[in-house]
Amino acid sequence: MGNSLFKLTSLNLNGIRSASSKGLQDWLAAERPDCICVQELKAQAPDMAGRFEHLAGLDGHFHFAEKKGYSGVGIYSRHTPSDLRVGFDGGEFDAEGRYLELRFDSPQRKLSLISAYFPSGSSGEERQQAKFRFLAAIRPHLLALAREREFILCGDINIAHQEKDLKNWRGNQKNSGFLPEERAWMTNLLDGRSPEGHLVDVYRQLQPDTTDACYTWWSNRGQAYANNVGWRLDYHLATPATAALARTEAIYKGQKFSDHAPITLAYDLTL
């Protein structure tokens, strides 16, 4: 990736302490992204103090869950934001630490970077219903935001959109993450014909047909990682004009920092 491009990484950490113990900071120092959006901090402010406010020269900003050791998102950036927004719904999901938006506005442009962690419904029907409530709440928020400003949302969406986005799609059609309702939600969000507006799946804009190479998450059960029985759950979703600035993409699988792989896209933009 060229040094002139803006490198933006997304990674579900499955715990910042765990990911750091597996070499995350050395990798960031070598890769030098301009910004990394992280999910599942599994930490609170006292856990971060003196240890994780900064990573490899990047300054951190966070949205912690109220529940200890649960959820939480962050954004580490080389650039100082003009503003930040913590949370989006003022209620159920803000308490779970699922949304952080950094704004990098100038007289010429309004631009946001968002780190988001969508709920998983895999633990049972109660959490699946929470996931549906989250999807219903965040879609109008994102579409309203897109009418006001450019943005890139990075995050663990916990939805594999199409059959090519997971290995065993036939056997997962009744499982959370590949339910028809979830996939339809994603299709609607990406529908360029929608009068409400739409977002762009930036990875798929650059790599429309990849299958095995696109996965970003593997179950810890069995030999899923060794056999590349994976899912594409981690996305860059962007407003159309900003998505058009994407030039390169990379999913790093050289080391395992968590059960997710970092996905980095480079954009022809400056903050």
Instruction: Express each pLDDT in 165-193 by its tens digit.
Output: 999 999 999 999 999 999 999 999 999 99
Residue 1 is predicted with a pLDDT of 40
Q: How confident is the model at residue 264 (pLDDT cuts 50, 70, 90)?
A: very high
| Residue 270 confidence (pLDDT) above 50 | yes
The pLDDT, as a whole number, for residue 3 is: 54
Catalytic residue among 34, 156, 234, 259: 156
Q: Is the dihedral of CA 146, 5, 34, 262 positive or negative?
A: positive
What average pLDDT does range 47-74 have in this prediction? Answer: 97
The pLDDT of residue 200 is above 50: yes
Q: Strand 111-117 to strand 150-156: parallel, antiparallel, or no bridges (unpaired)?
A: parallel
Backbone angles phi, psi at 132, to 5 degrees: -60, -40
34 is catalytic: no
Residue 101 token pair: 């938006």
Burial, 6: exposed, middle or buried (Cβ in 10 Å; 0-12, 13-18, 19+)? buried
pLDDT tens sequence across 128-148: 999 999 999 999 999 999 999
Name the pTM for this structure.
0.97
Does pLDDT of 222 surpass 80?
A: yes
Give me the pLDDT at residue 68, please.
96
What strand order describes the sheet that includes 83-86? 83-86, 99-103, 111-117, 150-156, 234-238, 200-201
Q: What pLDDT digit, counting tens, does each position of 90-116 carry?
A: 999 999 999 999 999 999 999 999 999
What's the burial of 185, exposed, middle or buried (CB within 10 Å: 0-12/13-18/19+)? buried
Convert the pLDDT of each residue in 5-28 to its tens digit.
999 999 999 999 999 999 999 999
Q: What pLDDT does residue 2 have?
A: 41
Rounded to an integer, the average pLDDT of 50-55 is 96
Residue 248 — pLDDT band, cuts 50, 70, 90? Answer: very high
